[in-house]
């Protein structure tokens, strides 16, 4: 159709009346099923969950709830272990404040730490693309070594595979890790109850903006460094106050919003967040304003969200602030029995809005 | 960058709200034209804070929502070709055409790239001289000038492997169409500030006079919206209907003459179809005859693609204020951002999507996790 033929239903133009028929708006057909894997299946949102629940879990057997968490808590020989695995496919391989090597260590270390475990050992599987410079691989390996030392873990086993040129993105890394969960520590979404205080360990959105700035060649006036860091020490300091923390999450893909929604859904509670209490650096606010993104949905790599019984909240907050990785920690909200499964933000102006699961990667808005 | 926190100040907001409450004596229906304004209103809960006499009707100014289905289908067709690199702003990738979207084209091997500026697409064309690079030029008067500039640059630099798939639309004819609808309830407009920053304000006095409606040029931060509402209500209560600029930090009466000159050179006004509405006379732009070589529709011979859209939702009533999004029987059940039945559920700036994302608490709509349609390999 050309723009002038007017074949859209409801817009048939007659000589005596050229007005569009506003009451006969018509709409697109929905897209429902996904017969193929799309990027969203790895996005950490609803499609990822469906893939695990409907495809992997029936095939593997075993408990679905465990499969849906970042790490599993296991009894083995009288010890309580946390076991976790994660794959890293980030572009670019090096970014302000870190590299895929830092992420590969800290990502798995942090998943273990979120179960309250003291991370101990990692495995490392490299999938290298033919033609990748050995100097590049060397820099990544050096970054992994330094990150492991900083996190207090050892890389004890590994594997390397090479795929043909064009079949990889330079370097993919998988790391798995184990750690010991101290006695008396039981961190899981099911323990979150109304009245719990929600704390965040610092400013949000930094890693995602750092990645976007290099990936898209965007300049935001100041260089923004990724917050990539190992959180084991911070968790230890919090558990030293009380082992009775209810749940921890590191808000990576999907940002703070995804973590809060995950906990609300898994615990059957509601969460209220005071928008103005959430620490967002000016640089992140500005970058998100330019791109039409919401900082609540932007990835972090060195932050955690804690769900703490109110009696311990002040002491835990003080312990967090005394740690270098928690200096900007803040209470951002609380758990409620209202609106179960839903996260609600109180806006700066006094209104409320639902903070939904991300629709996937946030897309820069056209205007 | 300033002007973010300052324009979300709760104390100043309360002062503006007090003024609006003190002024209003009867019900008024105001339409905010732009989807960006709708997003701000719902995201910050501004509609909850206004006195109940002030009703905000969410207008059709979401460029993603109003891009016709057949234009999306043309984009899908072009993007599927192996010799094409298809560049677009991000939020167009998720908009369903007939049976698929640009993400799915990318998932089946199409080279679809998100860019932040049409000039980025021109750079891609320079870097890939053996491929055809197409930029998806959609949007209102705000995005049209940079797209015009890109075509102008392409010709100036002799870049032949670049073209534009154009579906640009203009606000004033849409306002006219809304006011001509027999069921129209709109009594005043918050005009889109960014559109006016380009086009100026001279297209609006005629509309204000002809239809007897105040038109207040309004910005996008929460305090901008409240100031726009305050000035609009004040006019309505006094029985006035003038054009007022409540966004002077961005809008000059004459607009941006350089941008307008670029538009006049590269584009020409044409009738345009709006998704869901139909054809509105003189409501869009196409490439002028001088630049027709850069028109992707002709270059890829997709001008023959026509799509009849199945009638499936009531967004026409929503956009005229005859129906609130949550009053539609499909809202939140068969129609969600994951599977949109209608254009207004497609983009986060669409009224239905904004209600779904931010308003389910009051609407008692069950929480249904939205699908992740695109993953980010950031972590």
Tens of pLDDT, residue by residue over B173-224, are 999 998 998 888 899 999 999 999 999 999 999 999 999 999 999 999 999 9
Predicted confidence band at B61 (pLDDT cuts at 50, 70, 90)?
confident
The strand pairing partners of B88, in sequence order, are B114
Q: State the residue range of the domain holding B347.
A: 315-357
Do B75 and B195 belong together in one domain?
yes
User: Which residues of chain B neighbour A38 with C-beta distances below 8 Å?
Assistant: 103-104, 107, 373-375
Interchain CB distance below 8 Å, B89 and A364? yes
A6–B contact, CB cutoff 8 A: yes
Interchain CB distance below 8 Å, A1 and B45? no
* CA–centroid distance for B143 within its chain: 10
* Arithmetic mean of pLDDT over chain B: 88
Do B290 and B320 belong together in one domain?
no
Do B291 and B320 belong together in one domain?
no
Tokens of B276: 């869901």
Do B283 and B332 belong together in one domain?
no
The pTM (predicted TM-score) of the whole model is 0.80
Q: 10 Å Cβ neighbour count for B77?
A: 16
Interchain CB distance below 8 Å, A30 and B340? yes
Per the CB < 8 A criterion, the answer to whether A67 and A56 are in contact is: yes
Do B21 and B126 belong together in one domain?
yes
Which A residues, 60 through 89, put their C-beta within 8 Å of a C-beta on chain B?
A: 88-89
A246–B contact, CB cutoff 8 A: no
**Which of B44, B46, B372 shows the shortest C-beta gap to A360?**
B372
Do B20 and B70 belong together in one domain?
yes
> Tell me, what CATH number does B197's domain have?
3.40.50.11740
What is the rounded CA–CA span in Å between residue B108 and residue A213?
A: 28
B206 part of a folded domain: yes
**Which of B284, B311, B377 shows the shortest C-beta gap to A24?**
B311
Predicted confidence band at B4 (pLDDT cuts at 50, 70, 90)?
low
pLDDT of the residue at A10: 31
Per the CB < 8 A criterion, the answer to whether A165 and A267 are in contact is: no
A291–B contact, CB cutoff 8 A: yes
Most B CBs within 10 Å: which of A4, A11, A20, as the mutation test of the B interface? A20
Most B CBs within 10 Å: which of A7, A18, A31, A282, as the mutation test of the B interface? A31
What residues contact B360, with CB distance under 8 A and at least 6 apart?
A342, A354, A356, B332, B366, B367
Nearest CA in chain B to A290: B1
Which A residues, 304 through 333, put their C-beta within 8 Å of a C-beta on chain B?
A: none
What is the rounded CA–CA span in Å between residue A80 and residue A83?
A: 10
Lowest average pLDDT, out of A36-40, B139-143, B187-191, B306-310, goes to B306-310
B375 part of a folded domain: no
Minimal Cα–Cα distance from B240 to chain A, Å?
Answer: 27
Do B328 and B260 belong together in one domain?
no
Q: Average of pLDDT values for B116-144? A: 95
Q: pLDDT tens track of chain A, all 367 residues?
A: 333 333 333 333 333 444 444 444 333 322 335 667 777 777 766 677 777 777 888 888 866 544 456 789 999 998 999 999 999 998 889 999 999 999 999 999 999 999 999 999 999 999 999 999 999 999 999 999 999 999 999 999 999 999 999 988 899 999 999 999 999 999 999 999 999 999 999 999 999 999 888 876 676 667 789 999 999 999 999 999 999 999 999 999 889 999 999 999 999 999 999 999 999 998 898 888 877 788 999 999 999 999 999 999 999 999 999 999 999 999 999 999 999 999 999 998 988 999 987 655 566 665 5
Do B133 and B7 belong together in one domain?
yes
Do B286 and B330 belong together in one domain?
no
Q: Residue B239 class from Cβ within 10 Å (0-12 exposed, 13-18 middle, 19+ buried)?
A: exposed
What residues contact A175, with CB distance under 8 A and at least 6 apart?
A85, A86, A88, A104, A105, A107, A108, A122, A123, A124, A125
The total of structural domains in chain B comes to 2
B285 part of a folded domain: yes
Nearest CA in chain A to B297: A2
Do B283 and B329 belong together in one domain?
no
What residues contact A266, with CB distance under 8 A and at least 6 apart?
A65, A189, A190, A192
pLDDT of the residue at B363: 64
User: Which residues of chain A neighbour B124 with C-beta distances below 8 Å?
Assistant: none
User: Which residues of chain A neighbour B105 with C-beta distances below 8 Å?
Assistant: none
B122 part of a folded domain: yes
B180 part of a folded domain: yes
Question: What pLDDT digit, counting tens, does each position of B329-373 carry?
Answer: 888 888 887 777 776 887 767 888 888 888 777 765 544 443 333
What is the rounded CA–CA span in Å between residue A300 and residue B48?
A: 32
Interchain CB distance below 8 Å, A7 and B306? yes
Tokens of A91: 């572009």
Interchain CB distance below 8 Å, B96 and A28? yes
Do B251 and B351 belong together in one domain?
no
What is the rounded CA–CA span in Å between residue B204 and residue B274?
A: 21
Interchain CB distance below 8 Å, B104 and A31? yes
What is the rounded CA–CA span in Å between residue A118 and residue B349?
A: 44
Do B334 and B253 belong together in one domain?
no
């Amino acid at each position: 159709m050309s723009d002038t033929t007017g074949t859209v239903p409801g817009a048939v133009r007659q000589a005596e009346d050229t007005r569009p028929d506003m009451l006969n708006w018509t709409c697109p057909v929905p897209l429902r099923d996904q017969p193929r894997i799309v990027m969203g299946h790895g996005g950490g949102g609803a499609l990822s969950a469906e893939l695990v629940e409907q495809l992997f879990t029936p095939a593997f057997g075993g408990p679905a709830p465990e499969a849906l968490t970042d790490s599993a808590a296991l009894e083995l020989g009288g010890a309580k272990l946390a076991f976790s695995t994660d794959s890293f496919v980030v572009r670019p391989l090096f970014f302000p404040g870190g590299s895929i090597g830092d992420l590969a260590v800290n990502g798995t270390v942090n998943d273990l730490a979120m179960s309250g475990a003291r991370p101990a050992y990692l495995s490392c599987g490299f999938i290298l693309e033919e033609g990748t410079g050995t100097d590049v691989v060397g820099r990544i390996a050096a970054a992994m070594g330094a990150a492991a030392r900083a996190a207090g873990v050892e890389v004890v086993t590994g594997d390397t595979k090479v795929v043909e040129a064009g079949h990889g993105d330079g370097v993919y890394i998988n790391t798995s890790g184990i750690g010991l969960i101290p006695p008396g520590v039981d961190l899981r979404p099911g323990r979150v109850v109304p009245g719990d205080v929600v704390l965040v360990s610092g400013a949000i959105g930094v890693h995602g903006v750092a990645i976007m700035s290099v990936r898209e060649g965007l300049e935001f006036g100041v260089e923004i460094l990724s917050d990539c860091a190992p959180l084991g020490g911070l968790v230890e300091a919090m558990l030293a106050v009380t082992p009775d923390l209810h749940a921890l999450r590191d808000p990576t893909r999907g940002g703070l919003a995804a973590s809060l929604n995950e906990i609300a859904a898994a615990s059957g509670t509601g969460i209220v967040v005071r928008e103005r209490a959430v620490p967002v650096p000016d640089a992140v606010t500005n970058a998100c304003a330019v791109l039409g993104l919401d900082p609540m949905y932007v990835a972090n790599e060195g932050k955690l969200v804690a769900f703490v019984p109110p009696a311990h909240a002040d002491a835990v907050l003080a312990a967090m602030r005394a740690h270098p990785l928690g200096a900007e920690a803040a209470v951002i909200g609380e758990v409620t029995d209202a609106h179960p499964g839903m996260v609600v933000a109180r806006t700066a102006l006094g209104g409320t809005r639902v903070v939904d699961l991300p629709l996937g990667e946030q897309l820069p808005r056209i205007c | 960058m300033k002007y973010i926190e300052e324009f979300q100040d709760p104390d100043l907001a309360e002062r503006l709200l007090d003024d609006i409450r003190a002024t209003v004596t009867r019900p008024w229906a105001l339409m905010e034209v732009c989807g960006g304004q709708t997003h701000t209103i719902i995201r910050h809960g501004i509609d909850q804070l206004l006195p109940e006499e002030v009703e905000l009707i969410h207008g059709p100014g979401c460029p993603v929502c109003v891009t016709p289905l057949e234009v999306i289908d043309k984009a899908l067709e072009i993007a599927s070709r192996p010799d094409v690199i298809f560049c677009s702003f991000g939020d167009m990738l998720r908009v369903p055409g007939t049976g698929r979207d640009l993400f799915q084209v990318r998932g089946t091997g199409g080279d679809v790239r998100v860019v932040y500026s049409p000039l980025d697409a021109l750079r891609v064309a320079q870097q890939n001289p053996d491929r055809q690079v197409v930029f998806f030029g959609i949007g209102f008067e705000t995005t049209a000038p940079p797209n015009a500039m890109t075509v102008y640059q392409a010709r100036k630099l002799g870049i032949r492997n670049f073209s534009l798939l154009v579906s640009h639309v203009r606000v004033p004819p849409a306002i006219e169409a809304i006011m001509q609808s027999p069921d129209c309830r709109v009594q005043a407009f918050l005009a889109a500030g960014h559109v006016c920053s380009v086009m100026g304000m001279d297209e609006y006095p005629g509309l204000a006079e002809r239809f007897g409606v105040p038109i207040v040029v309004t910005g996008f931060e929460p305090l901008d919206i409240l100031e726009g509402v305050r000035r609009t209500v004040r006019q309505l209560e006094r029985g006035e209907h003038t054009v007022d600029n409540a966004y002077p930090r961005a809008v000059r009466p004459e607009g941006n003459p350089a941008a307008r000159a670029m538009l006049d050179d590269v584009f020409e006004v044409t009738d345009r179809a709006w998704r869901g509405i139909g054809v509105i006379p003189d409501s869009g732009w196409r490439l002028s005859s001088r630049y027709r070589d850069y028109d992707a529709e002709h270059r890829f011979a997709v001008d023959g693609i026509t799509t009849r859209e199945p009638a499936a939702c009531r967004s026409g009533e929503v956009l005229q204020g005859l129906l609130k999004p949550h009053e539609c029987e499909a809202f939140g059940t068969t129609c969600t951002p994951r599977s949109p039945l209608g254009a207004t559920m497609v983009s986060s700036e669409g009224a239905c999507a904004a209600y779904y994302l931010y308003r389910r608490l009051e609407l008692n709509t069950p929480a249904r996790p939205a699908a992740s349609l695109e993953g980010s390999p950031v972590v």
